[in-house]
Amino acid sequence: MAAPREDTEIQKDVQTYYGQVLKKSADLRTNACVTTARPVPKHIREALQNVHEEVALRYYGCGLVIPEHLENCWILDLGSGSGRDCYVLSQLVGEKGHVTGIDMTKGQVEVAEKYLDYHMEKYGFQSSNVSFIHGYIEKLGQAGIKNESYDIVVSNCVINLVPDKQQVLQEAYRVLKYGGELYFSDVYVNLELPEEIRTHRVLWGECLGGALYWKELAILAQKIGFCPPRLVTANLISIQNKELERVIGDCRFVSATFRLFKCSKTGPTSRCQVIYNGGITGHEKELMFDANFTFKEGEIVEVDEETAAILKNSRFAQDFLIRPIGEKLSTSGGCSALELKVVITDPFKLAEESDSVKSRCVPDAAGGCCGTKKSC
């Protein structure tokens, strides 16, 4: 059996893999970082097209970490790499917002910083609203990032590369304002990883060797103080490499997007009825909040106390009318959806259901999160 690898050794291996071995996304040996996504809204597709080609080519994410209602927000990107997501987000937050990217691989940060002026001029901004830091996402304090300084923290297939995942989540919680959220895509596994996988250098670099057992996320979130994880999307990962398939054995992997809210304890303590007022950019008529709740403009939806508290205490508060059940709500039209359904928390179950749907429909022209695949 291989000797346990130290955290510093894993960090050096990851830096080498992303700084020297990988030059573009095509160099990856699994599809963990090129998985499909749900259809991309038009305003995000347009923002992606404005990103410089070299920045886009060095993208290694596993999801689309662009949440809704971003105007004027301050956003921190954990493991920002070449800066693709930062530059997309910078367009969406506008000049009054700000995006900070932090990454431990110096070469990636240098690529990102190289195009600061290019994107500022491309967007017509008077000054850049993006900054990049060379540092560790589990040590944000050392990078000078203060408590409760960001509205949103995002991360795209990076937390799995850090051995101490609890520390990453703890730091994200610390720098978030109350009502803020960690919106992130990452890789999860269906069981506890055996030693052979956890010590495999290539599998670590491919985002599989450090994958978290999916049930552990809820445990860590509760321990730190986040509201329970809200599953947004999930896609099964295929290895497509005979050598790596042999090492992996019975383990199955999924890329999934979750949102973790840092909510205050105040707010609704019982189920409520909510109405989406509409108008969020790119989601004017319908807001897919997560895999369990989609809100249509003017439609009454019954939600649990936790969802009601999140809506009331987050940046979405102005977008919803929230009332206790039994109190009459006036609607501008649309159907009522008052019956609570079984909440999906298992990313593997959601991914399997999504695959079943995809097999019955024609691919959408919007493309996947990396622009390399299409989704229904």
Same domain (yes/no): 97, 244: yes
Confidence of residue 375 (pLDDT cuts 50, 70, 90): very low
Name which of 22-31, 201-210, 241-250, 269-278 the model is least confident about. 22-31
pLDDT of residue 204: 87
Same domain, 254 and 287: no
Residue 32 has pLDDT above 70, yes or no: no
Domain shared by 292 and 199, yes or no: no
Together in a domain, 140 and 283? no
Has residue 347 been placed in a domain?
A: no
**Tally of domains in the chain:** 2
Reply yes or no on whether the pLDDT at 336 is more than 70. Answer: no
41 vs 329, more confident:
41
Domain carrying residue 317: 265-327
11 pLDDT band (50/70/90 cuts)?
Answer: low
Higher pLDDT, 18 or 329: 329
> Both tokens of residue 132?
């990049």
**204 plus 290 within the same structural domain:** no
Encoded tokens for 202:
């290539």
Mean pLDDT of the chain: 85
**176 belongs to a structural domain:** yes
The count of other CB atoms within 10 Å of the CB of residue 192 is 11
* Co-location of 312 and 245 in the same domain: no
| Residues 165, 312 within the same domain | no
| pLDDT score of 167 | 98
Asked if 290 and 323 sit in the same domain, the reply is yes
> Using 50, 70 and 90 to split pLDDT, how confident is the model at 6?
low
pTM for the full predicted model: 0.86
User: Which of 211-215, 240-244, 333-337 has maximum average pLDDT?
Assistant: 211-215
> What pLDDT score does 366 carry?
36
Q: Same domain for 21 and 47?
A: yes
Q: What confidence tens digit (pLDDT) does each residue in 137-168 have?
A: 999 999 999 999 999 999 999 999 999 999 99
Question: Is residue 106 domain-shared with residue 59, that is, in the same domain?
Answer: yes
Residue 201 and residue 73 in one domain: yes
Give me the CATH number covering residue 314. 3.40.5.100
